[in-house]
Amino acid sequence: MIGTMNLTLKIWRQPHAEAQGGMREYQVSGISEDMSFLEMLDILNEQLQEQGEEPVAFDHDCREGICGSCSLMINGQAHGPEVTTSCQLHMRSFKDGDTITIEPWRSEAFPVVKDLVVNRSAFDRIIQSGGYISANTGSAPEANSVPAPREKAMRAFNVATCIGCGACVAACPNGSASLFLGAKITHLGELPQGQPERYERIVDMVAQHDAEGFGGCTNIGECAAACPKGIPLDVISQLNKDLRTAIKAGR
Amino acid sequence: MATPTLVRGARATQSTITLKIAMAVSGILFILFVLAHMYGNLKVFSGEEAFNSYAEHLRTIGAPIFPRTGVLWILRVGLIASLIVHVACAVTLARRAGRARPVQYQVKRNVNSAFSSRTMRWGGATILMFLIWHLLNFTIVKINPTGGETENPYRLLVDNFGVWWMTIIYLVAMAALALHLHHGTWSSLQTLGLTNSPLARQRAKLAGWVVAVVVAGGFSLVPLSVLVGITK
Amino acid sequence: MAGSTLHDGLTPLNAAPTQTSDDAHGYYTLGEKIVDPVAPTGPIAQRWTTRKFENRLVNPANRRKLNIIIVGTGLAGAAAAATLGEGGYNVKSFCYQDSPRRAHSIAAQGGINAAKNYKEDGDSVFRLFYDTVKGGDYRSRESNVYRLAEVSTNIIDQCVAQGVPFARDYGGLLDNRSFGGVQVSRTFYARGQTGQQLLIGAYQAMERQVAAGTVTQYTRHEMLELIVKDGKARGIIARDLVTGEIETHLADAVVLASGGYGNVFYLSTNAMGSNVTAAWRAHRKGAYMANPCFTQIHPTCIPVSGEHQSKLTLMSESLRNDGRIWVPKRAEDCEKDPRDIPEEDRDYYLERIYPSFGNLVPRDIASRQAKNVCDEGRGVGPMVGDFRRGVYLDFSDAIKRLGEPAIREKYDNLFDMYQRITGENPYEVPMRIYPAVHYVMGGLWVDYHLQSNIPGLFVTGEANFSDHGANRLGASALMQGLADGYFVLPNTIREYLADGPFAPVSEDDGAVVEAREAVRSRVERFLSINGTRSPDSFHKELGHIMWEYCGMERTEPGLRKAIDMIRELKREFWNDLKVLGTADSLNQSLEKAGRVADFIELGELMCVDALNRRESCGGHFRGESQTEDGEALRHDDEFAYVAAWEWGGDEGQPVLHKEDLVYTAIEMKQRSYK
Ligand SMILES: Cc1cc2nc3c(=O)[nH]c(=O)nc-3n(C[C@H](O)[C@H](O)[C@H](O)COP(=O)(O)OP(=O)(O)OC[C@H]3O[C@@H](n4cnc5c(N)ncnc54)[C@H](O)[C@@H]3O)c2cc1C
Ligand code: HEM
Ligand code: HEM
Ligand code: SF4
Ligand code: F3S
Ligand code: FES
How long a stretch of residues is chain B?
A: 232
Q: Are residues A96 and A127 in the same domain?
A: no
Please give the mean pLDDT across all residues of chain A: 96
Residue B1 lies in a domain: no
Q: Which residues of chain C make contact with A66, given a CB cutoff of 8 A?
A: 106-107, 193, 196
Q: Helices (DSSP H) in C213-276: which residue ranges?
A: none
Please name the residue of chain A whose CA is at the shortest distance from the CA of residue B185.
A219
Tell how strand C253-256 and strand C67-71 pair up.
parallel
Give pLDDT tens digits for B51-106: 999 888 888 887 778 888 888 899 999 999 999 999 999 999 999 999 999 999 99
In angstroms, rounded to a whole number, what is the distance separating the alpha carbons of residues C581 and C590? 8
Q: Which residues of chain A make contact with B19, given a CB cutoff of 8 A?
A: 216
Asked if residue C486 lies in contact with residue C236, where contact means CB atoms within 8 angstroms, the answer is no
Q: Are residues A16 and A92 in the same domain?
A: yes
Q: What are phi and psi of C497, to 5 degrees?
A: -75, -15
Of A125, A127, A135, A134, residue with least CA distance to A183: A127
Give pLDDT tens digits for B205-230: 999 999 999 999 999 999 999 888 88
User: Distance of alpha carbon B186 from its chain centroid, rounded?
Assistant: 14
Q: Give the max Cα distance, chain B.
A: 67
Q: How many domains does chain B have?
A: 1
Q: Are residues A128 and A107 in the same domain?
A: no
Q: How far is C316 from chain A (nearest CA, A)?
A: 12
Peptide bond into C435 cis (omega under 30): no
Q: Are residues A100 and A202 in the same domain?
A: no
Asked if residue C460 lies in contact with residue C255, where contact means CB atoms within 8 angstroms, the answer is yes
Grouping H, G, I as helix, E, B as strand and the rest as coil, residue C227 is strand
Q: How far is C576 from chain A (nearest CA, A)?
A: 13
The predicted structure's pLDDT at residue C180: 65
Strand partners, A74: A77, A102
Q: Which residues line ligand 1 (CB under 6 A)?
A: C 71-77, 94-97, 103-105, 107-112, 194-195, 221-223, 257-260, 269-270, 274-275, 277-278, 314, 438-439, 461-463, 475-478, 481
**A17-23 contact pairs (CB < 8 A, 24+):** A17/A111, A17/A112, A17/A113, A17/A114, A21/A112, A23/A101, A23/B106
Establish if C668 touches chain A: CB-CB under 8 angstroms. Answer: no
Position with higher pLDDT, A162 vs B44: A162
Q: Are residues A109 and A154 in the same domain?
A: no
Q: Helices (DSSP H) in A212-250: which residue ranges?
A: 222-226, 234-248
Residue B2 lies in a domain: no
Residue A140 lies in a domain: no
Which ligand 3 atom lies nearest to the CA of residue B127? Answer: 30
Establish if B2 touches chain A: CB-CB under 8 angstroms. Answer: yes
C197-226 as b/e: b if 16+ CB within 10 A:
bbbbbbbbbbbbbbbeebbbbbbbbbbbbb
Q: For residue C105, what is the DSSP state?
A: G
Domains of chain C: 298-437 (3.90.700.10), 510-660 (1.20.58.100)
In angstroms, rounded to a whole number, what is the distance separating the alpha carbons of residues C663 and C140? 10
CATH of residue B96: 1.20.1300.10
Q: Are residues A35 and A110 in the same domain?
A: yes
Nearest by CB: A237 against B101, B117, B193: B193
Residue nearest (by alpha carbon) to ligand 4 atom 6:
A162
Domain hosting A27: range is: 4-114
Residues of chain C under the 70 pLDDT cut: 1-5, 180-181, 672-674
H or E element, residue B116: helix B115-118
Of A216, A135, A146, residue with least CA distance to A182: A216
Nearest by CB: A108 against B4, B20, B102: B102
CB-based contacts of A4, cutoff 8 Å, min separation 6 = A29, A30, A31, A32, A33, A96
Domain hosting B197: range is: 13-105+115-227
CB–CB contact B112 A222 (8 Å): yes
Of C450, C444, C77, C464, residue with least CA distance to C282: C444
In angstroms, rounded to a whole number, what is the distance separating the alpha carbons of residues B94 and B90? 6
Q: What are phi and psi of C271, to 5 degrees?
A: -65, 155
CATH of residue A61: 3.10.20.30
In angstroms, rounded to a whole number, what is the distance separating the alpha carbons of residues B40 and B138? 14
In angstroms, rounded to a whole number, what is the distance separating the alpha carbons of residues A246 and A124? 23
User: Distance of alpha carbon C4 from its chain centroid, rounded?
Assistant: 29
Establish if A139 touches chain C: CB-CB under 8 angstroms. Answer: yes
Mutate to test the interface with C, among A28, A37, A66 (most CBs of C within 10 A): A66
Q: How many domains does chain A have?
A: 2
Q: Are residues A108 and A126 in the same domain?
A: no
Tell how strand C29-30 and strand C655-660 pair up.
parallel
Q: Helices (DSSP H) in B163-197: which residue ranges?
A: 164-191
Give pLDDT tens digits for A93-122: 999 999 999 999 999 999 999 999 999 999
Q: Are residues A59 and A88 in the same domain?
A: yes
Asked if residue C275 lies in contact with residue C421, where contact means CB atoms within 8 angstroms, the answer is no
In angstroms, rounded to a whole number, what is the distance separating the alpha carbons of residues A66 and C364? 26
Q: Which residues of chain A make contact with C163, given a CB cutoff of 8 A?
A: 132-133, 156, 187-188, 191, 193-194
In angstroms, rounded to a whole number, what is the distance separating the alpha carbons of residues A113 and C220? 11
Q: Are residues A92 and A212 in the same domain?
A: no
Give pLDDT tens digits for C141-188: 999 999 999 999 999 999 999 999 999 999 999 999 887 667 899 999
H or E element, residue C247: strand C246-250
Q: Helices (DSSP H) in C163-237: which residue ranges?
A: 194-212
Q: What are phi and psi of C513, to 5 degrees?
A: -60, -40
Establish if C156 touches chain A: CB-CB under 8 angstroms. Answer: yes
Grouping H, G, I as helix, E, B as strand and the rest as coil, residue B224 is helix
Sequential DSSP letters for B5-25:
S---S--GGGSHHHHHHHHHH
CB–CB contact B194 A106 (8 Å): no
Q: Which residues of chain B make contact with A74, given a CB cutoff of 8 A?
A: none
Mutate to test the interface with A, among B16, B20, B183 (most CBs of A within 10 A): B16
Exposed / middle / buried, residue B79 (Cβ in 10 Å: 0-12, 13-18, 19+): middle
Nearest by CB: A238 against B3, B110, B196: B196
Establish if B31 touches chain A: CB-CB under 8 angstroms. Answer: no
CB-based contacts of A87, cutoff 8 Å, min separation 6 = A36, A37, A38, A60, A62, A63, A64, A65, A69, A70
Catalytically active residues of C, by annotation = 363
Chains in contact with chain A (at least 3 beta-carbon pairs closer than 8 A): B, C
Q: How far is CA C357 from CA B177, C137, C672, in A?
A: 68, 17, 10
CATH of residue A170: 1.10.1060.10
Q: How far is CA A225 from CA A72, A83, A162, C436, C598, in A?
A: 15, 7, 14, 34, 42
Residue type present at position A236: I
- Whole-model pTM: value is 0.95
Residue B5 lies in a domain: no
Establish if A247 touches chain C: CB-CB under 8 angstroms. Answer: no
CB–CB contact B120 A241 (8 Å): no
Residue A20 lies in a domain: yes
Residue nearest (by alpha carbon) to ligand 2 atom 19:
B184
In angstroms, rounded to a whole number, what is the distance separating the alpha carbons of residues A234 and A182? 8
**Per-residue confidence at B1, pLDDT binned at 50, 70, 90?**
very low
The HSE-up count of residue A23 (CA atoms within 13 Å, CB side) is: 13
Instruction: Report the sign of the C-alpha dihedral through residues C87, C90, C93, C98, in that order.
Output: positive
Residue nearest (by alpha carbon) to ligand 2 atom 26:
B30
Cβ neighbour number for residue B228 with a 10 Å cutoff: 8
CB-based contacts of A234, cutoff 8 Å, min separation 6 = A186, B195, B196, B197, B198, B200, B201
Q: Are residues A195 and A230 in the same domain?
A: yes
Q: How far is CA A216 from CA A162, A172, A179, B93, C401, in A?
A: 20, 10, 11, 6, 49
Quote the strand ranges of C121-179, DSSP E.
Answer: none
Q: How far is A228 from chain B (nearest CA, A)?
A: 14
In angstroms, rounded to a whole number, what is the distance separating the alpha carbons of residues C632 and C628? 10
The predicted structure's pLDDT at residue A1: 43
Exposed / middle / buried, residue B77 (Cβ in 10 Å: 0-12, 13-18, 19+): exposed
Asked if residue B55 lies in contact with residue B232, where contact means CB atoms within 8 angstroms, the answer is no
Pocket test for ligand 3, best of B127, B132, B139, B180 (most atoms within 8 A of CB): B139
Residue nearest (by alpha carbon) to ligand 3 atom 40:
B76
In angstroms, rounded to a whole number, what is the distance separating the alpha carbons of residues B190 and A237? 5
Please name the residue of chain C whose CA is at the shortest distance from the CA of residue A31.
C308
Please give the mean pLDDT across all residues of chain B: 91
Sequential DSSP letters for C10-24:
SS--SPPP-----TT
CB–CB contact C420 A84 (8 Å): yes
Q: Are residues A9 and A98 in the same domain?
A: yes
Q: Are residues A194 and A210 in the same domain?
A: yes
CB-based contacts of A236, cutoff 8 Å, min separation 6 = A178, A179, A182, A217, A219, B190
Mutate to test the interface with B, among A243, A245, A251 (most CBs of B within 10 A): A243
Strand partners, C620: C617
Residue B69 lies in a domain: yes
User: Distance of alpha carbon C483 from its chain centroid, rounded?
Assistant: 15
H or E element, residue C459: strand C457-459
In angstroms, rounded to a whole number, what is the distance separating the alpha carbons of residues C511 and C517? 10
Of C232, C670, C614, residue with least CA distance to C454: C232
Asked if residue C202 lies in contact with residue C181, where contact means CB atoms within 8 angstroms, the answer is no
Q: What percent of chain A has pLDDT over 70?
A: 99
CB–CB contact A76 B200 (8 Å): no
Nearest by CB: A153 against C102, C165, C313: C165
